[in-house]
Structure 1
């Protein structure tokens, strides 16, 4: 038990603050990515509060793909696969199991993590997507996987490809790999 507590001390040094240019590129990418998804609501005349396009887990994806584009979690296969697999699992559990919502949510997140590990698509916001599919009153069934999840993730990816490659910084180029 002492070992467990000693590991909680950390010990490494906090990394330095990112240069302003990296912060600015992250801001531009996140703003344009989330705004592009939100614009779909205006085009389709859907109230933003009743949106079928904007999902909370996309905010976390924006942090990864625009703020840390070189991270493994940020790569296209992880972004798309993580969200789609997790949405499918969440919808399936919500549709076919009549369990307490706490148990459904726990199953959705934990099974999504296992599936993302096996498919090499680990994307932390995928866990939130699975939870949203279970808890969000999803009346749209498997259509939820296509819209908003696959559609929104694809829009975020397209914006990430453009914004992250506009920078002259070679460490900002995106993606590192596709598959």
Structure 2
């Protein structure tokens, strides 16, 4: 117990989150992910597309749970996913094998591209990785993967984040 008391007193613990912030994060992520899931079930999946990819769960943590983070801003969210998807598809087409090298090159190139364009968004690395390691349904999309799910999903999450954060007193999103 002393260990945690010492940590709390030394300022090394993260700040306590207000209940309203927690509720806003919960409701925003619920709305954003539910909307993505619903649109996937109703529109994307019947058309042979995907709209739900794992990296969007990580994006939800950033844009709803840490909306002040530079990595959660709209430019980073949208640009990071779209650019990383483009990089992932390009690397996957240029170097389909060996998969371990393709995956590493896709993620590393996506990070470099996001740095160069000032769109760094950590879930973008997963978006690039998904482009090269997922099954045939995603890989067969080719560059359509950039538009759907990457760009479309990011825009849907952004819409939910703008609405949710605007309705929460004391929250400002985007920061810039």
Query: Which residue, 62, 65, 68 being the options, matches 2:63?
Result: 65
Query: Which residue, 26, 51, 59 being the options, matches 1:53?
Result: 51
Mapped to 2, the partners of 1:155 and 1:45 lie a distance apart of 13
**CA displacement, residues 83-133 of structure 1 (integer Å, 9 cap, x when unaligned):** 011000000011121321110110011111111011000000000000000
State the SS of the aligned residue for 1:26. helix
Query: 1:1-179, aligned counterparts within 5 Å?
Result: 13-44=12-43, 46=45, 52-137=50-135, 138-169=139-170, 172-177=171-176
Gaps of at least 5 residues in structure 2 are: 1-9
Mapped to 1, the partners of 2:87 and 2:132 lie a distance apart of 9
Match of 2:6 in 1: none
C-alpha displacement of 1:45: 7.5
TM-score, length-normalised on structure 2? 0.88
TM-score, length-normalised on structure 1? 0.86
Gaps of at least 5 residues in structure 1 are: 1-10
C-alpha displacement of 1:51: 6.1
**CA displacement, residues 53-81 of structure 1 (integer Å, 9 cap, x when unaligned):** 10100000000000000100000000011
C-alpha displacement of 1:20: 1.0
The runs of 4+ residues in structure 1 deviating greater than 4 Å are: none
Higher deviation after alignment, 15-24 or 65-74: 15-24
Mapped to 2, the partners of 1:123 and 1:99 lie a distance apart of 26
Report if the CA contact (8 A) 2:80-2:121 is conserved: yes
Report if the CA contact (8 A) 2:60-2:157 is conserved: yes
Higher deviation after alignment, 153-162 or 91-100: 91-100
C-alpha displacement of 1:41: 2.5
Which has the larger helix fraction?
A: 2
The alignment covers a number of residue pairs equal to 163
Higher deviation after alignment, 74-83 or 16-25: 16-25
